[in-house]
Amino acid sequence: MTKTLFKLMTVAVLSTALFSCEKGENTDQTNDSQSNEGRVYILNEGVWGGNDAELSRYSDIDNSIANDYFASKNGRGLGDVANDIEIYGGKMYVVVNCSNTVEVIDSKTGNSIQQIPLSGKQPREVAFYEGYAYVSCYDKTVVKIDTTTLSIVAQCQTEGGKCEDLYAYNGYLYVAHAWDQDASGTTFYDSTMSVINLSTFAVEEKITIGLNPKQVKPIGQGRIMVVCNGNYADVSSYISVLDMGSKAVQKIDIPASNIAVYNDVYALVYNYDWATGQQMFTKINLTTFVETPWSYAASQPLVSPYGIGIDPVSQNVYIADAQNYQTNGDIYVFDAKGTFISKKECGVGPSKIVFL
């Protein structure tokens, strides 16, 4: 017990050092981008086969929104089904799954810097570590990209279900393996994460994290929170917390569709229960794991909350309502207490929200 506590504290100290570093970077960018265009990007996935993935830029200054932002800046679309968006070092990386590309964009101007083709790989998610971007792909590889030259440096083969979200910490990359199909189209679910040693760029070990793991979020003190989707049948979704130091896995038995984290202080967990149609938001304290219900005040309930994000500066909560995933969604802004601030129409299938 004492040993674990000690370990935790060590990790905590280390990670605090690390995070303060990251935060410093963030703050710099915030100061740089004080234009009316605002600090909030919403990634609209689009529909499969629609070539309609897009960015919306939301202004937290005047609560306005610029839709089709990427096309308006670049005269072309992002492509077909965008899955991830992350900002690193002033550049924004958009992972476009069915177009097999990673679009690198100037996060201040929205202009494309470079399009990195990943032919036939179906890239899915991106994470960063010490000047490199790591992109997980549906062909079960992780691609390493130099963020200065924007060229592919190496790739690592993994095993298990399809690669989903990933996170790099302390020289290691943790990649979730969610589900896959066999040649007859029958689906099965994985429950592991690959741990890739970034110095050798090879899988060093596999950790059992929970059934059908998808979303991965760092929550400080060397820990990540992983949303395990279950099997959509007898195993419902839940959250696993992995201590990347001790490799200990802790299960938080709360159904979850999506999570957003506020500065390692709390996580906002959203769940939609398909059997009952009930929506539930819960705040989880990231030190004590105490759960408290959270609710928003809107004139009418959201239809299908899909992407959620918490502004690390203002603590405002952004919830993207994807409607039926086939029409334009809406972006709702609430303050930390759930008081309504604004609602704007965005693109089709708004799934991720990032802040400059």
Partner 1 sequence: MRTMKQITIAVILLLSTQGALCQDTLKTETLKEVRIILGAETPTEVRSQTPVHVVSDTDIERINATRLSDALRGISSLVIRDYGGVGGVKTVSARGLGSQFSTLTLDGVAVSDCQNGQVDLGRYMLDNVDHISFANGNTDNIFQTARSFAAGNVINVQSKKPRVNKWNKTDMKLRLEGGSFGLINPSLMWNQYINDNLAISLSANYMQSDGDYPFTLYYTNNRNDSSSREYRKNSEVKMGMADLRIFYRPTQNQILTTKIHYNQSYRNLPGPTTFYTQKTSERMYDKVFFTQINYQNVLSEKWKIQVNGKYNLSECIYEDTAALNADGYLRNEYLQQEGYLSGTAQYTIFKNFKVAYSTDGAINTLHSNMAANNEVNRYTWLNVLAMAYKAKRISISGNILSTTIQEYVCNNFAKEYQRFSPYVGVSVKPWNWDEHTFLIRYFFKENYRIPNFSEMYYYTIAKDLNPEKALQNNIGLSYTSYKDDLYIIATVDGYFNRVTDKIVAIPSQSLFLWSMMNIGRVDILGLDAKVEVSLSNFAQRFTLSETVLSVALNYSFQSAMDKTDEGSKTYNQQIPYTPKHSGGAMLHLEIPHYFDIGYNIIYVGNRYRLAQNTENNLVQGYVDQSITLSKYITLKDGALLTIQAQVLNIFDVQYEVIKNYPMMGRNYKINVSYFF
162 forms part of the interface with partner 1 (CB under 8 A): yes
What angle is formed at CA 69 by the lines to CA 65 and CA 75, rounded to 5 degrees?
Answer: 155
Instruction: Please give the radius of gyration of the chain, using alpha carbons only, rounded to the nearest integer.
Output: 19
CB of 90 to partner 1, least distance (A): 24
Cβ contacts of residue 70 below 8 Å, gap of 6+?
A: 54, 55, 77, 78, 94, 103, 105, 110, 112
The CB-of-116 to partner 1 minimum distance in angstroms stands at 10
Number of C-beta neighbours around residue 117 at 10 A? 12
Using CB under 8 A, which of the segments 13-21, 29-37, 150-158, 324-332 binds partner 1? 324-332
Which one, of 170, 160, 144, 266, lies nearest residue 217 by Cα?
266
Q: How far apart are CA 245 and CA 13, in angstroms?
A: 12
Quote the strand ranges of 97-171, DSSP E. 101-106, 112-117, 123-129, 132-137, 141-146, 152-157, 163-169
Least distance (Å) from partner 1 to the CB of residue 304? 9
Both structure tokens of 215: 């979303």
**Which residue is listed with tokens 């990347």?**
244
Question: Considering beta carbons, is residue 87 or 256 the nearer one to partner 1?
Answer: 256
Q: Of the ranges 12-20, 49-57, 149-157, 240-248, which one interacts with partner 1 (CB under 8 A)? A: 49-57
Residue partners of 80: CB distance under 8 A and separation at least 6? 46, 48, 49, 50, 51, 52, 53, 96, 97, 98, 99
Q: What minimum distance in Å lies between the beta carbon of 232 and partner 1? A: 5
**Does 135 help bind partner 1 (rule: CB under 8 A)?**
no
CB of 303 to partner 1, least distance (A): 8
Position 114 contacts partner 1 (CB under 8 A): no
Of the residues 3, 20, 49, 288, which one makes contact with partner 1 according to CB under 8 A: 49
Choose between 35 and 187: whose C-beta lies nearer to partner 1. 187
Question: Shortest Cβ distance from residue 341 to partner 1 (Å)?
Answer: 21
Residue 182 vs 234, nearer CB to partner 1 = 182
- Beta-carbon contacts of 353 under 8 Å, excluding residues fewer than 6 positions away, are 40, 41, 42, 43, 260, 307, 308, 309, 318, 320, 331
Residues 244-263 that bind partner 1 (CB under 8 A): 257
Which residues ranging from 263 to 322 are in contact with partner 1 (CB under 8 A)? 274, 300
Residues in the interface with partner 1 (CB under 8 A) total 56
If the CB atoms of residues 303 and 341 are measured against partner 1, the closer one turns out to be 303
Instruction: Name the one range near partner 1 by CB under 8 A: 6-14, 32-40, 71-79, 128-136.
Output: 71-79
Question: In degrees, to the nearest 5, what angle opens at C-alpha 294 toward C-alphas 355 and 85?
Answer: 25
Q: Nearer Cβ to partner 1, position 285 or 327?
A: 327
Sites of contact with partner 1 (CB under 8 A)? 45, 47-52, 68, 71, 74-80, 96, 98-101, 115, 117, 119-122, 138-140, 161-162, 179-186, 188, 214, 229, 232, 257, 274, 300, 323-328, 347-349
